[in-house]
């Protein structure tokens, strides 16, 4: 079974990284920071955790480069999707702001 054997990373170290990053994530939402800063921090922490899981638990680090491309494709598609949704989002926000200005009552969806 020599070919299927992976170089085993230190799984417990990865576990502690993930646990600590989770604690940091929870701490971040209570920090007196701007909402945008908190959002950026949370997104990068989540991405960091996801990369740790994929690279070490799913052994992506020890796989071929082409398999890495297969794995990264959904992230690219999801990112593109955000840009696809943006124009629609702007249109709705614009209309909602118009309604709010006219009635002064918050719009219910």
Partner 1 sequence: MSQVASMHGAVEPAESPLTPESWGKLGMWIFLAGDAVGFGTLLAGYGAMRATSADWPSPYAVLGINLTALMTFLLICSSVTMVKGLEWLGKGDKSRAIRFLFFTALGGAIFVSLQAYEWTHLIHRGLHINGNPWGASLFGTSFFLVTGFHGLHVTGGVIYLLAIMRVVARRPSPAASYNPVEIAGLYWHFVDLVWIMVFTFMYLL
Residues that bind partner 1 (CB under 8 A): 1, 3-6, 8, 11-12, 14-15, 18-19, 22, 25-26, 28-29, 38-39, 42-43, 45-46, 49-50, 53-54, 57-58, 63-64, 66-67, 70-71, 73-75, 77-78, 81-82, 85, 88-89, 92-93, 96, 100, 106-109
User: How many Å apart are CA 18 and CA 45, to the nearest integer?
Assistant: 10
Question: Residue for token digits 């006219």?
Answer: 102
Least distance CB 42 / partner 1 (angstroms): 5
Cα 85 to the center of its chain, rounded Å = 17
Least distance CB 38 / partner 1 (angstroms): 8
User: How many Å apart are CA 5 and CA 84, to the nearest integer?
Assistant: 42
Question: Residue for token digits 């170290």?
Answer: 13
């Amino acid at each position: 079974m020599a070919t299927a054997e992976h170089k085993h990373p230190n799984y417990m170290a990865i576990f502690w990284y993930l646990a600590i990053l989770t604690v940091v994530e929870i701490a971040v939402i209570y920090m007196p920071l701007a909402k945008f800063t908190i959002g950026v921090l949370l997104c990068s922490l989540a991405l960091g955790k996801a990369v740790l899981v994929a690279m070490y638990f799913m052994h992506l680090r020890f796989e071929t480069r082409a398999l890495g491309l297969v794995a990264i494709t959904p992230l690219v598609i999801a990112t593109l999707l955000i840009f696809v949704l943006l124009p629609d989002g702007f249109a709705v926000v614009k209309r909602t702001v118009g309604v709010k200005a006219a009635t002064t009552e918050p719009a219910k969806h």
